[in-house]
Structure 1
């Protein structure tokens, strides 16, 4: 018997099992449920906002980005799979970074920090200040609407 045949046969036999690291990870991850919704600011859709859900019971977060209509779908493990069930804290953020104007000190070699311009009110960017919460349910629609106030 040729050595390459033994090596290939061994790999095929070992590789056919289902107890690999990926299978263990997939079995241990908590179930997720579809979550979608819409983000508006003073009644107008917000495009390009990042929506984050943080579970208050499990150490799992989910995220999504709004489209032109302000709609989003959350992702935890795989694209648009949803979020874990239970109470969630929510943050919503749309901002842009621009270079700050260089001061006299900056011109002498000190670095300047970029300027953040908030396109949604800054308070919604933090779980601690957004005051947004929802409850993701296992057997019901998880469609949420967030109308941010200026």
Structure 2
């Protein structure tokens, strides 16, 4: 249905065909599309210093230049693939600070000792302490290996602490 709109200064009705309205809406919606910076595929592995893979968690990388994060889930073999805007698209070019984050069930529960097997030290979950970095290149394959240390074993409840 086409509606007539009357302007207070006009005696003639103003007609806007529906196709014109739709075209205008599509053009306005497309403004800014594809304005994201280019990304480049990044695959890698996370492993402990002894060479064993980290088997669960998330790798997140931050580009200071673009103020963008890329992230990837760690697979059972320690592998990950980064995503910034769409699945497995990679990360923007340049230097990135990285973190490895794991959710450990049972932390901070009185009297409970969570397992320390396969658990990454908490310092790697914070950009200011992880020390992990990578450089993404637009010109070459981006294969990354992040090496982390495991959490120290927790003493048994009631066991003397060594200082």
The TM-score bracket by the shorter chain reads 0.7 to 0.9
Higher relative contact order (CA 8 A, sep 6+): 1
Superposition deviation, residue 43 in structure 1? 1.1
Partner of 1:122: 122
Q: 1:30 to 1:125 in 2, by over 3 A?
A: same
SS for the counterpart of 1:19 is helix
SS for the counterpart of 2:139 is coil
8 Å contact kept, 1:32–1:83? yes
Partners of 1:141 and 1:66 in 2: how far apart?
19
TM-score normalised over the length of structure 1: 0.75
SS for the counterpart of 2:109 is coil
- Aligned partner (choices 52, 62, 76) of residue 44 of structure 1: 52
Is 1:79 aligned to residue 72 of structure 2?
Answer: no
Partner of 1:144: 144
Cα-Cα RMSD = 2.5
TM-score normalised over the length of structure 2: 0.70
1:36-58 per-position Cα deviation (integer Å, ceiling 9, x unaligned): 10011231111222100000211
1:32-80 per-position Cα deviation (integer Å, ceiling 9, x unaligned): 1101100112311112221000002111010001111111000101011
- Aligned partner (choices 60, 84, 101) of residue 110 of structure 2: 101
- The runs of 5 or more residues in structure 1 that have no matched partner are 103-114
Larger relative helix fraction = 1
8 Å contact kept, 1:93–1:125? yes
- The runs of 5 or more residues in structure 2 that have no matched partner are 4-16, 151-163
Superposition deviation, residue 146 in structure 1? 1.3
SS for the counterpart of 1:128 is helix
8 Å contact kept, 1:40–1:146? yes
Partners of 1:39 and 1:32 in 2: how far apart?
21
Structure with the greater alpha carbon radius of gyration:
2
Aligned length: 131
